Amino acid sequence: MSRKILKTCLLGFILFLLSLNVAFADEGEYLTVEGMQGVSPHKDTVITVSGTYSSNYGKNSIDGNLNTLWNAGTYKGTIQYVFPEPINLSFIQIAAYSNPKSNNYYTIYGLKDGKWTAVSSKVSRYVNLSVTVTDPIEITPGEYDGIKVEVDGSASWAHVNELTLGITESTNPIQFNLQATGGNTQVGLKWDEIASAESYTIRYGTESGKYTETVTATKDEYGNFVIPGLTNGTTYYFVVSAIIDSVESEFSNEASATPQGPVIEPEEPSGNRAILVVTMTTGLEKEYDLSMQEVNSFIDWYETKQAGSGKASYAIDKHDNNKGPFKSRKDYILFDRVLTFEVSEY
């Protein structure tokens, strides 16, 4: 009888301990998942999915159980996690399986100030028939209100067995005050000097939040760093980070600029040509594009003839209006047929 009572007490004690563990798990902020880096999102995280197959709900992806999952019911799907409070993140890790085994593709977005922005490029991870803990996916380090994962299952339905977060210690963000100025096929960057910086890393691209190119600046180039070889008329977006004690800081504010070619000013009128319009007594108007020397020669002829001397006609060279197989063409103006004329210099 005593042994039966002892077994009953022991069983009750074990159940009591288990209840304590469950309670601690419920009250704890973040849980770990065996074999995965980082921690599961907080239990109060709000999960939204693009679709669900059967009972494979989104909440299964953060329950700490590698054998449960969210399944989109199609080859491509989206699952988003909005945290109860902002979190500083540097990576996420995903566990999944694939039937048949294949590459799965993931694009990660971060929620900040109510806007989803890509914080990783589209990356591939090989997934086996059994649950596979894939390599961590690095994201743009920073504080986020949520994370969204676009999943392309390729040969199998999009799903996530478990997702964990790489949470970094919250620190006061470094103020870079990055500024960008467009030039001819280049952009000039400047930012505030960061104490103890060993070097700087500049990332840029043609879409906000998506940086496809990376260059390195020395610790002394913060005041004037030029990125050449850009396309005029295209807007580029830039961020900079500092390397301090071999560790990269969070990204700066994003700055943008559009390279532009030099502005070619139109030539000022030289003043050595004019349009001569001669109105005949018949009402006919004749227009000529002449040099001022030719115009002055015409005026001299007219005034001389008006004074009672000179030739009765004047030959005007038609220049570019020489149509036909002729070496030259001239228009002869008779003095007594001229009613008036006008000169417009340009």
What stretch(es) of the chain map to CATH 2.60.40.10?
Answer: 179-257
Label each residue of 82-143 as H, E or C.
Answer: EEEEEEEEEEEEEEECCCCCEEEEEEEEEEECCEEEECCCCEEEEECCCCEECCCEEEEEEE
Q: Three-state SS string across 189-224, please?
A: EECCCCCCCCEEEEEEECECCECCEEEEEECCCCCC
Say which range, 40-54, 228-242, 256-270, has the weakest mean pLDDT: 256-270
Higher-confidence residue of 265 and 157: namely: 157
Q: Is the per-residue pLDDT at 202 higher than 90? A: yes
| Mean of the per-residue pLDDT values of the chain | 87
Categorize the per-residue pLDDT at 24 as very low, low, confident or very high, splitting at 50, 70 and 90.
very low
**pLDDT value of position 5:** 53
Mean pLDDT (whole number) for 288-296: 90
Nearest Cα neighbor of 228 from 239, 213, 240 is 213
Mean pLDDT of 187-201: 94
Q: What pLDDT score does 264 carry? A: 73
pTM summary value: 0.49
Quote the CA–CA distance of 248 and 159 in Å, as a whole number: 32
- Token digits of residue 87: 């979190």
| Structural element, H or E, at residue 274 | strand 273-280
Q: What is the pLDDT of residues 331-342, one digit of tens each?
A: 889 999 999 999
Per-residue pLDDT of 27-39, as tens digits, reads 346 789 999 999 9
- Intervals of CATH 2.60.120.260 along the chain: 29-167
Condensed to tens digits (0 to 9), the pLDDT of residues 121-140 reads: 999 999 999 999 999 999 98
pLDDT tier at 8 (50, 70, 90 boundaries)? low
What per-residue confidence (pLDDT) applies to 309?
86
276 neighbors 298 (Cβ within 8 angstroms):
yes
Residue 193 pairs with which residues in a beta bridge?
A: none
Q: Which CATH superfamily is domain 179-257 in?
A: Immunoglobulins (2.60.40.10)
- Considering the four listed CATH numbers 2.60.120.260, 1.10.1370.10, 3.40.50.150, 3.30.470.10, the one that applies to the domain covering 29-167 is 2.60.120.260
pLDDT bucket at 346, cuts 50 / 70 / 90: confident
Per-residue confidence (pLDDT) for residue 262, from 0 to 100: 84
In this predicted structure, the answer to whether residue 171 has a pLDDT above a threshold of 60 is no
Residue 9 has pLDDT above 60, yes or no: no
Per-residue model confidence (pLDDT) at position 15: 46
Tens digits of per-residue pLDDT, 213-230?
999 999 999 989 999 999
Query: 271 or 55: which carries more pLDDT confidence?
Result: 55
pLDDT attached to residue 322 = 59
* Residue pLDDT, tens place only, 308-326: 888 889 999 887 765 667 7
